[in-house]
Chains A and B, each alone.
Chain A
């Protein structure tokens, strides 16, 4: 599994999607614990129902790789790493949901791929309006411009939801990092402006600063204890939880100690 985690970290922002389907009926809680313990951060799907048509048949592990052209390029048990690494070079616009766009929209698509969503939306909107102003609009240009706008909007909505959920769960570091991505990616757009306001408010909040500092201290402590024995880790985590009682970092430390 460390190999797959490495593959994920290398390509997750470059157009790789992983759907890891646990097929032994493991409960969601147990799967979460397993992922935490093994440091697996790629998406885990429960059950097989969502993937009818992709029957593994002769047991697990079994995998399918879909290429940038939408065709299945590999299936089997082991050996997908090299196939994926090679195929990644063919991804032109990561995350756009389209491998090619109509003429005149390549720049907007490339801007999207660089995570400059606000500019991609503005460029696509400009092209869309120009095209619609013509006596015979090119349907492909209209469709692809609308696709870029819709896709960027979906990214904004997803990131906004992620930031809000993280904030509600007191995962402030994640919330702030996500608001920053929104602010940078949607400059001059409502998503970006709202994120900037939310981020400023979080920075000014003393309670949040306290929580963030405690989480940073926990991370630093965990890094120091990386090679320590489980008993030593447990002792330190419990002491940390006591010292920072009531904060999210203490809850996390408690949970980690219980999992050891």
Chain B
């Protein structure tokens, strides 16, 4: 049982590791530059430079 548990944990780590590595850990760091071509609904700024001094939310989402 212990062996099975260890195998499951190892497998979980193997699968989880690439996902965690792909995720940017940016908290506390200077925000990486970004630039937006165009948007649906008007944006008052289209790059990090234009947003300096303001607060920015970048959110990934999906309609489904």
The answer, among A19, A41, A48, A99, for a CB contact under 8 Å with B56, is: A19
Q: How would residues 222 to 248 of chain A score, 1 for a CB under 8 Å from any chain B CB and 0 otherwise?
A: 000000000000000000000000000
Q: How would residues 185 to 228 of chain A score, 1 for a CB under 8 Å from any chain B CB and 0 otherwise?
A: 00000000000000000000000000000000000000000000
What distance in Å separates the Cβ of A246 from its nearest Cβ neighbour in chain B?
27
What distance in Å separates the Cβ of A66 from its nearest Cβ neighbour in chain B?
4
- What is the bound-complex CA distance between A80 and B61, given in angstroms? 14
Given contacts A23-B62, A42-B41, contact A72 B53 (CB under 8 A): no
Q: Are B53 and A91 in contact (CB under 8 A)?
A: yes
The answer, among A53, A95, A158, for a CB contact under 8 Å with B54, is: A95
Q: Are B60 and A66 in contact (CB under 8 A)?
A: no
What distance in Å separates the Cβ of A256 from its nearest Cβ neighbour in chain B?
18
Given contacts A26-B62, A57-B24, contact A98 B39 (CB under 8 A): no
Stretch in A29-37, A118-126, A132-140 touching the partner: A29-37
Q: Are A17 and B44 in contact (CB under 8 A)?
A: yes
- What is the bound-complex CA distance between A231 and B25, given in angstroms? 49
Q: Are A66 and B31 in contact (CB under 8 A)?
A: yes
Q: Are B33 and A53 in contact (CB under 8 A)?
A: yes
> Within 8 Å of chain B (Cβ to Cβ): is A259?
no
- What is the bound-complex CA distance between A48 and B41, given in angstroms? 17
Q: Are B55 and A88 in contact (CB under 8 A)?
A: yes
Chain B residue, CB-CB nearest to A63: B59
What distance in Å separates the Cβ of A87 from its nearest Cβ neighbour in chain B?
5
**A17 to chain B: which residues have CB within 8 Å?**
43-45, 51, 54-57
Given contacts A58-B19, A66-B31, contact A87 B41 (CB under 8 A): no
Q: Which of B33, B34, B48 has the most CB of A within 10 A?
A: B34
Q: How would residues 71 to 85 of chain A score, 1 for a CB under 8 Å from any chain B CB and 0 otherwise?
A: 111110000100010
The answer, among A19, A54, A63, A96, for a CB contact under 8 Å with B32, is: A54
What distance in Å separates the Cβ of A70 from its nearest Cβ neighbour in chain B?
6
Given contacts A51-B58, A99-B53, contact A19 B36 (CB under 8 A): yes
Q: What are 29 contact pairs spanning A and B, CB under 8 A?
A: A11-B55, A19-B56, A19-B57, A22-B61, A31-B40, A43-B40, A44-B39, A44-B40, A44-B41, A50-B35, A53-B32, A56-B23, A58-B20, A63-B60, A64-B26, A64-B57, A66-B31, A66-B51, A66-B58, A67-B55, A70-B31, A71-B28, A72-B30, A95-B44, A95-B45, A97-B50, A97-B51, A97-B54, A98-B53
New contact pairs (20) apart from A61-B60, A70-B31, A88-B55, CB-CB < 8 Å: A19-B34, A20-B61, A22-B61, A43-B40, A43-B41, A45-B36, A54-B32, A55-B23, A56-B60, A57-B19, A57-B22, A57-B23, A62-B60, A63-B57, A65-B57, A66-B51, A71-B30, A91-B53, A94-B54, A162-B42
